[in-house]
Structure 1
Amino acid sequence: MLILHSPLDMHVHLRQGDMLALVAPHTARDFAAAVVMPNLTPPVTSLPQVLAYREEILRVAGESFSPLMTLFFKSYSRAELLAARPHIIGLKLYPAGMTTNSEAGLADMRQAHETLAIMEELDIPLLIHGEGCGFVMDREAVFLPVVAEWARSFPRLRIVLEHVTTCAGVELLDRFDNLFATVTLHHLLITLDDVLGGLMRPHLFCKPVAKRPEDRDALRQAALHHPRAFFGSDTAPHPITAKEAPGCAAGIFSAPVALPALAGLFEELDALDLLQAFVSDRACATYGLTPMAREVRLERRAWTVPERFGSVVPYLAGQTLTWRVVD
């Protein structure tokens, strides 16, 4: 039996409407809290939208789960951010067009400085989809100099490089004490070869794309040992009609398998004793969180991941996992 205390998923996409009702219970079952992304249609850019979305999540997820809300990054006044601060965990910055529903994101990174200064003053963290324009395998590397500039210019601003995917991204953590990173399950397990090395596997297509084996190895070391790297699944459901289609949507729905698959990986790496820190303790230290007390128990018992949950194909569909969450 493996007991995890108040596990946290620091990066989830819960979507809207019927999709929210389908996927949110999976996250709420296994996690005490989760950081909810704001790239809806339209994006969440005001306090009333934050509060309304939070209530919508709680209606389907239940009161034993805490949605940690974010605002979609744009230019905000100090008054707007001061009013929002008690209700959000941070602002999420998307470079325009880099991922799903990011068309309203920032096109010119220089336009961020005024809002970043206010965030630093008010101690509101910045969460970044850290990719720039360029060859798809290099988009994180292209954006890292921007992250470094902001970390230098705003030394009291906590900056989280979301879903880090490269050796270079992990190495940047050691240059700045105010820089943190989330690491996904799928980037710990796959490389680009798993996606494209044989037949195209659309349900493994995500952004940022999976990278090279050496990048995956660096992420594993960060997950095991880096005090400023913690779990964020980036679970991102799309209906099968959007995944198995021309213009395949980017995103992997990992919520139903996140903790069992992580337990299997950490056991394989002889590091089960480090899983608690990765899925809770480091994030609590970073954000100053005291999540609601929950024990999530996993047992070593084989089970097969369903082929579908409603209209969505989950990560590792049809595969047998050795750990499962005890209901």
Structure 2
Amino acid sequence: MEFTINSPIDMHLHLREGAMLERVTPLTSEHFSAAIIMPNLVPPVDNLERLLQYRQEIEAARGDDVFDPLMMLFFRQYSEAELLAAREHIFGIKLYPAGATTNSEAGVKALDEVEETFALMEKMGIPLMIHGETHGFVMDREKEFLPVYAKLAEKFPKLKITMEHITTRDAVELLDRYENLYATVTLHHLVITLNDVAGGLLNPHLFCKPIAKRPEDREALLQAALAGHPKLMFGSDSAPHPISKKECCGCAAGLFTAPVCLPTLVELFEQHDALGNLQAFVSGNAQRIHGFTPPAKTVKLEKIGMDMPARYGDVVPYRAGETLPWAVTDIS
């Protein structure tokens, strides 16, 4: 059995820097046509010079792969001149509430103090992507942030807003209330719940932020993806950490899913007789919503089995050591 995907896009990807970037970039650039690159480095990617240098490093790491890194600025208060200079080089701007996740300490502390930048982005047609969590009880952080999305969508109706890596049924329901509100969802949030992370022995390699939620939340996300919801896009949030940062006290948040994204998505959609909607989820919706065309790439997968390695260097991938039913067999 075979299945073909055209120009898959990862709308949320972490590549890190240095040796880690060199190791993990090819694991995405081989399979994907493009990916939105997260800017929460240390220091953050919050100026044009740093952004252009980071893009050069990614392009060097991708080698000969046909792959477009879609660059993001880390949200801060920007002047109109800064945004005008950066506009042709960026896909959008990523907002992190201060301290909400990895390397987000420089994020926004008070949204009402940065509305001038929102207005400039709306005027210039620059998309806004948001890590939407409060600092409340860990299971409720996304739900508590949803009124912020609603407020922004109402106050800036021409600003294209993406709720990043949504994890709750409530977030899925919010999608249909505002024309300018969109969302990404990860592979792992379509599959796991909090029970997989901490229901038995703690599995640090499944710990992420936002944390996996309840079965009913996973079901709502899954049904929206399987149905080809027109405002929902795939974003892996693949976030590599060395074993020393995962198997330790103070475990870092993030799953490294890049090597298994497409095979596992095909497996998942096949199980639910929804392969006809996978193309929209991994590419078509993003192209239509954002009005861009990624580089042409055709990825063929076959149901021949693929043994996942236990490690990629010092990083443990999602589904490490498993045999996956599907494998990528040709890229053109």
What TM-score, normalized to structure 2?
Answer: 0.97
Aligned to 1:258: 261
Matched letter for residue 46 of structure 2: T
Aligned to 1:79: 81
Alpha-carbon deviation of 1:224? 2.1
Unaligned runs of 5+ in 2: none
2:233 counterpart (230, 233, 238): 230
Aligned to 2:271: 268
Provide the C-alpha distance between the structure 1 equivalents of 2:240 and 2:114, rounded to a whole number of angstroms: 29
Q: In the TM superposition, what are the counterparts of 1:83-162 in structure 2 within 5 Å?
A: 83-162=85-164
Provide the C-alpha distance between the structure 2 equivalents of 1:33 and 1:62, rounded to a whole number of angstroms: 14
Q: Is the 8 A contact 1:236 1:253 kept in 2?
A: yes
Aligned to 2:175: 173
Q: In the TM superposition, what are the counterparts of 1:1-327 in structure 2 within 5 Å?
A: 1-63=2-64, 64-225=66-227, 226-327=229-330
Provide the C-alpha distance between the structure 1 equivalents of 2:200 and 2:321, rounded to a whole number of angstroms: 18
* Aligned Cα root-mean-square deviation (Å): 0.7
Aligned with 2:173: secondary structure? helix
Matched letter for residue 188 of structure 2: H
Q: Is the 8 A contact 1:72 1:91 kept in 2?
A: yes
Provide the C-alpha distance between the structure 1 equivalents of 2:150 and 2:113, rounded to a whole number of angstroms: 16
Aligned residues: 327
Unaligned runs of 5+ in 1: none
Aligned with 2:303: secondary structure? strand
Alpha-carbon deviation of 1:112? 2.4
Provide the C-alpha distance between the structure 1 equivalents of 2:324 and 2:143, rounded to a whole number of angstroms: 33
Per-residue CA shift, 1:257-287, capped at 9, x if unaligned?
Answer: 0000000000011101111010000000111
Per-residue CA shift, 1:222-272, capped at 9, x if unaligned?
Answer: 212310001000000000000000000000000000000000000011101
Per-residue CA shift, 1:4-51, capped at 9, x if unaligned?
Answer: 100000000000000000101001011000000000010000111111
- Percent of paired sites with the same residue: 61
Per-residue CA shift, 1:131-176, capped at 9, x if unaligned?
Answer: 0110000000111111110000000000000000000111110100
Provide the C-alpha distance between the structure 2 equivalents of 1:222 and 1:53, rounded to a whole number of angstroms: 34
| Greater than 6 Å deviation, 4+ residue runs | none
Per-residue CA shift, 1:177-198, capped at 9, x if unaligned?
Answer: 1000001000000000000000
Provide the C-alpha distance between the structure 1 equivalents of 2:144 and 2:246, rounded to a whole number of angstroms: 27
Provide the C-alpha distance between the structure 2 equivalents of 1:98 and 1:152, rounded to a whole number of angstroms: 24
